[in-house]
Structure 1
Amino acid sequence: MKRNNNTIIVTIIIILIVLVIVPIQMVQANNNNFNSKCLDHYGNKCNQVNLWINFKDKALNINNNNNNNGITNESIKRRLKKNLPIDNALDQEIDENYIKSVLEIDSRIQKRSISRWLNAFSVSIDIGSLDGIENKKQELNGLIEKILSLSSVSNVEEVIKFNGIKQESKLVLDKSNLQVINSNTPKASTKYGDTDYGNSFTQLNQLSIPNAHSKGYTGKGVSILIIDSGFYKDHECLKNVNIGGEYDFINKLNNTQGLDGDSQNVHGTYVLSNLAGNLPGKMIGVAYDSKYYLAKTEIVQDESPIEEDYFIDALEWGERNGVDIVSASLGYSQWYKYWELKGKSSISKAVDIATEKGVLVVISSGNGGYTGVAPPADSNGAISVGAVDETGEWASFSSVGPTSDGILKPEVVAQGVLNYAANSESPSSYSYPSGTSLSAPLIAGVAALVLEAHPEYTPEQVKQALFSTASQANKPDIYKGYGLVNAIKAIDFKLNNQLNSNNISGNNTIPLVPCGYTCAQNQGKCNEYNCFECLAPDIKPHKVKTPISCDGHSVATDQWNGASTISTFHWGVSTLILICVTLLVTN
């Protein structure tokens, strides 16, 4: 009888082990079956897929280098000033042998860019010679399977795409019925004290910037990286910009200005003039005495989407060169649903790493209205900037928050409707473009004035000063966040280590917004077990013992941790195996 019991128990154990192994193999098989968003979106017209190849480690000794991994003295000074580590594994270069082993798999795999921070490099895979979507999927999966077989590779993910600047400009015009107006005719009052701001006065005065200028704050001692399309440096208001460095990441050149009339110059010139322009009577930027690093990453000649890897490459380049602030104006991502956007993309992770290294990153929230704020403005570290008109009213094209996991976005706003800006058509032309692309540089400039006054501030402390003194600091919302910033109030603000009623401080608290209207507008559904999370409509939320309600919660929490079905299943099976083994031993 005892033998029969033992046989039954052993049989049960074998069955349970099979039940454990099979789901694991199924999950692994599913992970290896890569679903390309390019193929899903474009079908047979997708001829090139761009991928991130992520490595498990860097294989090199981070202490065995004599040049600080190419980090400049300026970057070291910034880190020391903010009591941050001078060097760590994220700064270490990727082992070239890892990269070489991937490229040797197939000649169709071509290197695009490298990210030290993500421990990854991006590649393009040419599948254009194949006909039929199934053939392309099969070939792509075969190549990815070979890549994943390398012992150095941890996983593969697709390089996400963004609407290009040309597409974003059309969106603004379509949504707001505004036009770009070429005009040198000054508006009403353009002077503050003895300084004539020309037509740039209104957008600056809304943020009390002329007042800060009058007290001597002009961005001195602060360096700013602008990531954009190209820059017409020959414009009359940009002739004296202090350029610390520049690089064209598209064409691999040390010059970011195209030929006269090149459309690549347009958007970046708008942004640069709002920050660094300095021609009294015509155009004055927010932080005209700052040092600027210019990165050309976006292609605007056609309407094809742009990829995130050039942006990340530029971000790391700027940090190594010691920049204090980044100003970037990107469109919203393609292919991704609202409920997928919660700061987990590669580009958003890179922004968070930059923030951890002491760089304040300012990103336009996008021009998608209720489609929501998307990467990289959805990252925890970034300041996401929305747009208002000159009266302070929300611009209907300005992307609203929160993120799909409830983080308050945008945090602040600035004028983004008919802003005055230098135009690259000629050295003396100006325009009135619109979009959150124009709002972001104004906030980045104000941050530079705050850093000039308080060079020891970390990104979180700059945020606290900006948010706590903004126009609706006591009642933030998903349209304007904390509202319009006030440069002089932010400069004079006294930091505190205590949380105020709206949790505007420190890196340990992130204000949350209950799931609601934005989720519904994007056909998502709110998680019944987590008040702040938006889910896909076909997802069944995991039931938890302690749901997160909106009551009493105003900051991020890790209280809710829904286990996956597979994880829960394994826990139960493991328990049964333990019981069977115990019975076997006792028999």
Structure 2
Amino acid sequence: MKNLLIITVLLSGLFGYTQEDAWVYFNDKPNAQIFLNNPLSMLTQRALDRRAAQGIALTVSDAPIEQSYIDQITAAEGIEVKAQSKWMNCLHIRGSLTDIEALANLTFVNHIRYADHSLNAKMPQTATISPVNKQLDTQEIFTYGNSLNQVSMLNAHLLHQQDFTGSGKIIAVMDSGFSAVNTIIPFNRMFNNGLYLGGYNYVGGNNDVFSTHNHGTLVLSCMSGYVDGQLVGTAPDAQYYLYITEDISSENPVEESYWVQAAEEADRVGADVISTSLGYFGYDNPNYSYAYSDMTGDKAFASQGANIAFSKGMIVLASAGNSGNSASPFIGVPAEATNVLAVGAVQFDEVYANFSSIGPSFDGRIKPDVMAKGQSTTLSNTAGNIVTASGTSFSCPVMAGAVASFWQAVPWASNQQVVDFVKQSADRFLNPTDQYGYGIPDLQLALNMALLSVSDNRNSKFLVYPNPVNDVVSISFPNGFEVAKMTLFNNLGQIVSEKKITSNQPFSIENLSSGMYYYKIRSNTLEQSGKIIKN
């Protein structure tokens, strides 16, 4: 089921499919070294600076797809190229099964992955095609002149009082359209201050992002909207790129490919944060749909792309979804991805909103990650009126803007460190649940912890990160210390792992079960203890 639920009646998907969607992957990038010798040919200086600041090296994945491969696939009989991903070195194609299978004979083709999972498993299957309901579970309730609740719930207003309003940070927004953003009052401040940097419509293949659909308008207003005395977004001084990746007329995996292509463009232009109020689980063709068992963090195409985006130094936030009170209540793609901050929804009083999708992921990871106000969120409609609407579509941008403002306050921090501080400041960090995840962050607390960690680490404290952790812990040493012993204990006080470490040397805990552990680091006269959570 789709977490962006848009009110429309589908005319497609009511009959059998003769065309298949698939991804064709290539063996190599024979001209990658040309790019690596001159990365500014494809990436902006800001994108390179973001990598350099976080110690992220360029790789072959950053190089463009070999153009001759694209040309040959495009010219192949019966094949339509819909999208491409340089990160995964593949094209999203559409054609008959026979025409797609013929591509496997090309020497540069590595493999083909079908959107129809049964074709990959070589198990023929027939299915009754029924349309997916793409209606937005967000209703304008009444004109509401106070956005303080959703901002102060995260203590983002305290960041604003310190002039941390997202300035200097770039947020890329992926959605279905941003109707009237260029004409209505709540976005005047964004345009007047040069905060809109551009956009692209991947569905339409053009630059028109302001006349297609309204959902992105509502979403964007939660971050950048500004009407004095009525609405202040969580990142009113951030800069924005707007990308349309959602096709409102149908539900098809090509939208995941559009999403990844937009994420690659966000990377290219140097964006810091990606905010996406889209989600994928079911498709018009049920053979393309996901099952809960697919929610393992890195199986779905968009989830793979989101994880790669994180590896390039960006922070990706995605709405958890609005299926919490349905028969399939779990978080979908890409919110389920390993390195995505999935944002669930609460009410004004910080109580769980019963529509908010729940965790855990199929492989047992904590999802959602964090929560923000998503029921009766204050925002702007396309007429410029300040209203309220409900859905994790809005808790996500509320959080995304707040994270951008927080990152402005700690410009030295990596994307992983920012995510760690945000999670650790949440009110259920030590006792996460399937509904709340780690809970509601306190970004002033996160800032205090971040500043303290810098001060302590310069003097006499080890910095242990990430926390929570998946498989590998890193330990940054204070000045003057080079070697230490790291010991992990379970909740019974039993030693479960012990190792001599040096600064920034990885400490693997992949063999440990999920849960909370206690650590002790000893080096000469310095001893430090703490807690760490294994996802």
Q: TM-score normalised by the shorter chain: which range applies? A: 0.7 to 0.9
Contact 2:243–2:262 (CA<8 Å) still a contact in 1? yes
Report matched runs for 1:111-130 at 5 Å.
111-125=81-95, 127=96
- Among all aligned residue pairs of Structure 1 and Structure 2, give the percentage whose two residues are the same amino acid: 29
How far apart are the structure 2 equivalents of 1:66 and 1:548?
43
- Distance change >3 Å, CA 52–CA 98, structure 1 → 2: same
Query: For residue 402 of structure 2, what is the aligned residue in structure 1?
Result: 446
Please state if 1:357 is matched with 2:312. Answer: yes
How far apart are the structure 2 equivalents of 1:548 and 1:417?
38
Task: Give the match's secondary structure for 2:213.
Answer: helix
Shift of 1:180: 2.2
Query: For residue 337 of structure 2, what is the aligned residue in structure 1?
Result: 379
Contact 1:342–1:378 (CA<8 Å) still a contact in 2? yes
Contact 1:332–1:368 (CA<8 Å) still a contact in 2? no
- Distance change >3 Å, CA 72–CA 337, structure 1 → 2: same
Query: For residue 536 of structure 1, what is the aligned residue in structure 2?
Result: none
Task: Give the match's secondary structure for 1:157.
Answer: strand
- Distance change >3 Å, CA 68–CA 471, structure 1 → 2: same
Query: For residue 379 of structure 2, what is the aligned residue in structure 1?
Result: 421
Shift of 1:43: 9.4
Please state if 1:82 is matched with 2:54. Answer: yes
Query: For residue 99 of structure 1, what is the aligned residue in structure 2?
Result: 70
Query: For residue 438 of structure 2, what is the aligned residue in structure 1?
Result: 482
Letter of the 1:440 partner, please give it. C
Query: For residue 338 of structure 1, what is the aligned residue in structure 2?
Result: 292
Letter of the 1:72 partner, please give it. T
How far apart are the structure 1 equivalents of 2:310 and 2:471?
10
Query: For residue 229 of structure 2, what is the aligned residue in structure 1?
Result: 281
Shift of 1:45: 1.5
Letter of the 1:254 partner, please give it. N
Q: 1:249 is matched with which residue: 202, 205, 211?
A: 202
How far apart are the structure 2 equivalents of 1:446 and 1:54?
37
- Distance change >3 Å, CA 324–CA 299, structure 1 → 2: same
Q: 1:237 is matched with which residue: 170, 175, 186?
A: 186
Shift of 1:42: 6.6
Contact 1:250–1:310 (CA<8 Å) still a contact in 2? yes
Letter of the 1:328 partner, please give it. T
Letter of the 1:73 partner, please give it. Q
- Distance change >3 Å, CA 548–CA 416, structure 1 → 2: same
Letter of the 2:310 partner, please give it. T
Shift of 1:439: 0.7
Contact 1:69–1:93 (CA<8 Å) still a contact in 2? no
My pick for the range that moved more, 490-499 or 399-408, is 490-499
Task: Give the match's secondary structure for 1:124.
Answer: strand
Query: For residue 522 of structure 2, what is the aligned residue in structure 1?
Result: none
How far apart are the structure 2 equivalents of 1:203 and 1:53?
44
Please state if 1:292 is matched with 2:237. Answer: no
Report matched runs for 1:374-523 at 5 Å.
374-424=332-382, 426=383, 428-494=384-450, 495=453, 503-504=467-468, 508=472
Q: 1:265 is matched with which residue: 209, 213, 221?
A: 213
Please state if 1:312 is matched with 2:274. Answer: no
Contact 1:275–1:441 (CA<8 Å) still a contact in 2? yes
Query: For residue 72 of structure 1, what is the aligned residue in structure 2?
Result: 44
Shift of 1:392: 1.0
- Distance change >3 Å, CA 155–CA 389, structure 1 → 2: same
| TM-score (norm: length of structure 1) | 0.69
Contact 2:515–2:533 (CA<8 Å) still a contact in 1? no
How far apart are the structure 1 equivalents of 2:47 and 2:185?
31
Deviations 1:283-317 (A, max 9, x none): 110000011111111122x3544621111111000
Task: Give the match's secondary structure for 2:472.
Answer: coil
Query: For residue 165 of structure 2, what is the aligned residue in structure 1?
Result: 218
Letter of the 2:74 partner, please give it. L
> Which has the larger Rg?
1
The alignment of Structure 1 onto Structure 2 pairs a total of residues equal to: 436
- Distance change >3 Å, CA 311–CA 386, structure 1 → 2: same
Q: 2:30 is matched with which residue: 59, 82, 93?
A: 59
Structure 1: any 5+ residue segments left out of the alignment? 1-40, 128-139, 174-178, 187-197, 259-263, 511-546, 558-587
Contact 1:229–1:267 (CA<8 Å) still a contact in 2? yes
Deviations 1:143-169 (A, max 9, x none): 2331112121111123489x9997252
Contact 1:52–1:121 (CA<8 Å) still a contact in 2? yes
Task: Give the match's secondary structure for 1:438.
Answer: helix
How far apart are the structure 2 equivalents of 1:550 and 1:406?
8
Letter of the 1:181 partner, please give it. I
How far apart are the structure 1 equivalents of 2:38 and 2:370?
42
How far apart are the structure 2 equivalents of 1:498 and 1:158?
44
Task: Give the match's secondary structure for 1:45.
Answer: coil
Shift of 1:90: 0.9
How far apart are the structure 2 equivalents of 1:508 and 1:476?
21
Q: Which has the higher strand share?
A: 2
Task: Give the match's secondary structure for 1:84.
Answer: coil
Contact 2:515–2:534 (CA<8 Å) still a contact in 1? no
Deviations 1:55-76 (A, max 9, x none): 1111214245545341001111
- Distance change >3 Å, CA 390–CA 310, structure 1 → 2: same
| TM-score (norm: length of structure 2) | 0.76
How far apart are the structure 2 equivalents of 1:251 and 1:164?
21
Letter of the 1:382 partner, please give it. V
Contact 2:331–2:368 (CA<8 Å) still a contact in 1? yes
Q: Which has the higher helix share?
A: 1
- Distance change >3 Å, CA 549–CA 81, structure 1 → 2: closer
- Distance change >3 Å, CA 408–CA 168, structure 1 → 2: farther
How far apart are the structure 1 equivalents of 2:387 and 2:18?
38
How far apart are the structure 1 equivalents of 2:419 and 2:277?
19
- Distance change >3 Å, CA 148–CA 402, structure 1 → 2: same
Shift of 1:465: 0.9
- Distance change >3 Å, CA 273–CA 549, structure 1 → 2: closer
My pick for the range that moved more, 55-64 or 283-292, is 55-64
Contact 2:468–2:533 (CA<8 Å) still a contact in 1? no
Contact 1:463–1:505 (CA<8 Å) still a contact in 2? no
Letter of the 1:203 partner, please give it. Q
